[in-house]
A = this chain, B = another copy of it.
Amino acid sequence: MNVREEVRKMKLVSPAMASTSNEDRSRMLRGIAEALTAGKDEIFAANAEDVAAAEKEGISPSIIKRLRFTEEKLRDCLAGIDTMIQLPDPTGKIELARELDEGLTLYRVTVPIGVIGVIFEARPDALVQISCLCIRSGNCAVLKGGKETAKTNKVLFDVIKAAAVKEGMPADALLQVSLHNEIDELLACDGDVDLLIPRGSNKFVQYIMNNTKIPVMGHADGVCHTYVDRYADQDQALRIIIDAKTQYAAACNATETVLIDRAILPEFLPKLKDALDRNHVRIHGTKEIADLTGCDVMADDAFHKEYLDNDISLKAVRDVKEAVDHINHFGSHHTDSILTENEENARYFLSMVDSAGVYQNCSTRFADGYRYGFGAEVGISTSKLHARGPVGLDGLVTYKYKLIGHGQIVGDYASGKKQFHHKDLPVQS
């Protein structure tokens, strides 16, 4: 396949895709849901081949679990599609309506971004979620999934595309690339692809960011922190830390570092060590922590590390201020939580920590589009521009300014013959 050529066709069709109505796109999604249900035997059969091949290659059971596309995962996908249909149309929203002068009215209206490239890990449900999010938001999409689920992806993609086209989607609006070298072709499609969303390892995301002129949204690292303040409910803190670390250690929103207010260190650390030991979490820490627990001593720089495993870094800090400074320096601006009953310390932390998610008294693992009520997410962004945190439909739109006049020219305003009056008009919400 000539990726550049296909993507150029997609670019040409993107204004038409963007101009489809809310009703059109809801119909496409309903068609997809029906087709997935009708085609499930074929999908499961392809998935069984992928899983058998992975098992033969000796891939670990925890990864195999992610490759599997089961009745349960299909049900979750269908529920996600249903949520997306219920959610308000992210496009066509008038964010601002302002009469600049009589008969000269400015509107800021949300519109789809255009052409989005998503490169994602081997997880068949991700293909369903991402393609549906793009269609729901009026975007064209180029999808590249992990090679371990190539057969499943092919069937899923064909089912989804055929169903959407049947309901009126332009055929060039959705494309799957499957070969690894096609990623580099996609990276060269600046000017035609408006946004790239890479998901995967730090190294992979860094590679994408360093090898394209296309704007990239996503995150390379997820170094999330939980800070246990002197005013924390300590039993609650233990439960939250164990959940944040172990409920799914390989996720980007799992806590990597626990910072402990030194004022409660002698009392809290033994309880924490005990809980971590019971949950098979390996402790790493500063010299101060190592002296008290017998754990490995970490180099200062190691606090940048994302374990993605049952490992945790521990450090004592003087107060909430030092905790914030540590997080802003060593963190990845993803999600960080303070455990405290003291509102002043909480306010300071939530205001001063410079991350996409700042939490009080709950697990960092909540950072997720489904949990936030977005139906699904296309990725999580740690960038400050455009969308930040879990990215759902709202993050897949931009806006246009529409200015409707009756012959107005700038010369009349520059000469003082006319004046702007900038009167805001009510907008529906």
Which residues of A approach B to under 8 Å, CB–CB? 12, 14-16, 18-19, 98, 100, 104, 106, 113-114, 194-195, 209-210, 213, 215, 217, 233, 236, 239-240, 242-244, 247-248, 324, 328, 350-363, 365-367, 371-373, 383-386, 388-390, 398-411, 413-414, 420, 422, 429
On whether the beta carbons of A239 and B100 are closer than 8 Å, the reply is: no
On whether the beta carbons of A398 and B413 are closer than 8 Å, the reply is: no
Contact of A389 among B18, B217, B401 (CB under 8 A): B401
On whether the beta carbons of A403 and B215 are closer than 8 Å, the reply is: no
Contact of A362 among B217, B324, B354, B408 (CB under 8 A): B408
Contact of A15 among B239, B328, B390 (CB under 8 A): B328
> What is the distance, in angstroms, from A391's C-beta to the closest C-beta of chain B?
11
What are 19 of the A-B contact pairs (CB < 8 Å)? A14-B354, A15-B353, A18-B351, A100-B366, A100-B371, A100-B373, A114-B354, A209-B213, A243-B410, A247-B411, A248-B410, A356-B400, A360-B403, A361-B407, A362-B409, A366-B408, A371-B420, A384-B398, A385-B386
Question: How many copies altogether?
Answer: 2
On whether the beta carbons of B407 and A247 are closer than 8 Å, the reply is: no
A400 proximity list for chain B (CB < 8 A): 350, 355-358, 388-389
> What is the distance, in angstroms, from A95's C-beta to the closest C-beta of chain B?
9
User: With contacts A372-B100, A385-B398 known, is A403 near B362, CB below 8 A?
Assistant: yes
On whether the beta carbons of B410 and A365 are closer than 8 Å, the reply is: yes
Contact of A113 among B217, B240, B359, B384 (CB under 8 A): B384
Interface of A is mostly: mixed
7 residue pairs, one from A and one from B, having the closest CB atoms: A362-B405, A243-B409, A373-B422, A365-B410, A236-B407, A385-B386, A15-B352
A248 CA to B414 CA in the complex, in Å?
Answer: 10
On whether the beta carbons of A399 and B409 are closer than 8 Å, the reply is: no
A236 proximity list for chain B (CB < 8 A): 407
A389 CA to B405 CA in the complex, in Å?
Answer: 18
On whether the beta carbons of B100 and A385 are closer than 8 Å, the reply is: no
A366 proximity list for chain B (CB < 8 A): 100, 104, 403, 405, 408, 410
A386 proximity list for chain B (CB < 8 A): 385-386
A363 proximity list for chain B (CB < 8 A): 408-410
A57 CA to B331 CA in the complex, in Å?
Answer: 51
17 further contact pairs, Cβ within 8 A, besides A239-B409, A350-B400, A358-B400? A15-B351, A15-B352, A195-B384, A209-B213, A215-B215, A243-B410, A247-B414, A350-B402, A359-B402, A359-B403, A359-B405, A360-B403, A360-B405, A363-B409, A366-B410, A371-B420, A389-B401
A420 proximity list for chain B (CB < 8 A): 371, 373
Contact of A404 among B328, B361, B399 (CB under 8 A): B361
A404 CA to B390 CA in the complex, in Å?
Answer: 17
On whether the beta carbons of B362 and A194 are closer than 8 Å, the reply is: no
